[in-house]
Structure 1
Amino acid sequence: MYINITKQHLDATFSPSSADFVAYLEKENEGKQLDQQEHFFDQRNDRIAPEKVIREIDGNTAKLKNLEPKFYSLTINPSQRELRHINNDPNKLKEYVREVMKDYAASFYRDKPVSVHSLKYYAKLEYERTFKGYDKQVKENQVFKAQIVKLENDIRMVLRGDLEGSVNAMKKEITKLTAQIPHRLNGEVVAQGMNKPGLQTHIHVIVSRKDVSNRFSLSPGSKYMESESILNNKVVKRGFRRDQFYESAEKRFDAMFKYKRNFVETYHARKSLLNDPKIYFAHLLGLPTNERSAAFKIMGAAGVNIPKLNIPTNKVEAALQAIKQFKKVIEVAKTASSIGV
């Protein structure tokens, strides 16, 4: 499970309204019959019109300055393994989102506990993802495509007489490079904008910066995770406990659907991999044999090249050996530990 929280974009290319974001979330409904469309939903309602979402979010911004975010976006990304476990059931995902938003509310550090009913939020399921320019497959293919484009340009220059060279040799090189392009789907070269394969269901949530009363600010983007300050001679609690939220959302899925989470799928593991890979791989190598085998399969399914390991009996020696052997794949593992497996 990978959850991302981002604030409203406020640069010159974005509208101060939520309209652009809501329109973006409606893109999968284009060209579909009404009974095939996905609708916005909240804690109680399943069919909410996009116009109402815009009206409610834009109208709940009391005392917020022009350059302050008016809403935040949560993207809830179950892995393909998690989606298979629940048979990609949209009703189960909606049920899960409603429980996750309780965890979101509870993660605000305030004098009085924040309830999910204090939130003004709207969520929407999407079933497709497209390859982006920063995806590994697109970037690696682009190396070859750039060389091909240069050769094609050189051929045109040779034919015009602006460059000397053998057109046939260049065409042969293009054929060779085309065959070497590493990533294809159903015979087609992977490129930006192409739909990703497999289960890609995820959920977007737009949540107002202000609570339902339009009086209190609830900002998950606060730089204060959990702190207290003095305001009018009174101690005021503030902040948002992100680690608590991510871990609670993960445990919520496991409890609701009886999902047995492997170490490499946990938020704790992802954080450990980013902050101290040595500890990550030492823990990985210390797992029971069946769990370690499952972890390697999960990582392998995500494209991590797992080297064959002869595990020494000494755990310290095993950890050191593993670190050396995994050194070349740490960056790939960081990506794989988020979503897509």
Structure 2
Amino acid sequence: MSKIVHVDLDAFYASVEQRDNSCYRDKPLVVGGLPQERGVVVAASYQARKFGIHSAMPSYQALQKYPNLIFVPPRFEVYRSISKQIHAIFKRYTDLVEPVALDEAYLDVTQNKLGLPYATTIAKQIKAEILAETGLTASAGVSQNKFLAKMASGMNKPNGLTAILPEQAPAFVAALPIEKFHGIGQVTASKMHNLGIHTGFDLKRYSEDDLVRYFGKVGRFYYLIARGEDNRIVEPNRKRKSIGAETSFTKDLNDLQAILLELETIAQTVQHRLESYQALGRTITLKVKFADYQQITRSRTVTDAIGEAKAISQVAKELLATISLQGRSVRLSGISLSNLDYPQKPRPIQLCLFESGV
């Protein structure tokens, strides 16, 4: 049986800023653009999250939730450097490390370099070494596959360590609210609610054919995780095929200008994610989901790879113009870039030149 560890740094970008500046410690802080620049929250400290502030939220909304919020521009070169430190720690235990983001990775420690018998021991030591060498805390999940390890790592954040043993998996999944399932977003959860699916127990009652009929090919994945099964292996050399972001609106939108503004916000989130990977993309894909759950995508491939929010949103808006919105409400929109390039040197990005508590 495989032994998988999922490690996730706690509020990584925000925690780095609080570590490096004592004035920011224990205060509500976000990494991102300023409200007056129509910025977006890239990351929020745990103190900010208490006020309902989260990543991908427009900065002006975050400021409304807490007027004394501290805004700090992102320093991706610093985050990448710390990420390399953390991955060096992972490699002390196994070469089977699959990065998910700068602050997150899966480790297969079934056969580990130190010959340790328990994955929980390895996770505990990794957490301690990360704290000692970077001053940052991480949460870890341990289980028999990637899905369960991912779910476990989020159970006791921050600075948590949770193991889901094989004999515990069926009961754990059965009791889990469907909104908590990794891989099931807000819109899909809403559709599941309409089908009477509220927990893993409810999901397990549906056949694989039924789930594929309702949700497409991803229904096969839902069928497996409802049973605590996940056949995906840890892939050390896995490269991202696309980078994107999407937003499910709290209220369906039928105003074109409101939709266009949302696309600008989403494009900023995509830019920040591209910057964290030092990536550019040539193919831009717009996704629009209507109130009746009909989904339409439009794509365009450009000659020169792009990564700036302004260029991304411009293409997305042009793609939106090819979709008939008349008399229809939009519940979700998203932008992704694929056909990725990874230039040797990071692009110069114009960031805020000051830090401010607005």
TM-score, normalising length: structure 1: 0.22
**TM-score for the superposition, normalised by structure 2:** 0.21
Name which structure has the greater RCO, CA cutoff 8 Å, separation 6+.
Answer: 1
The structure richer in helix per residue is 1
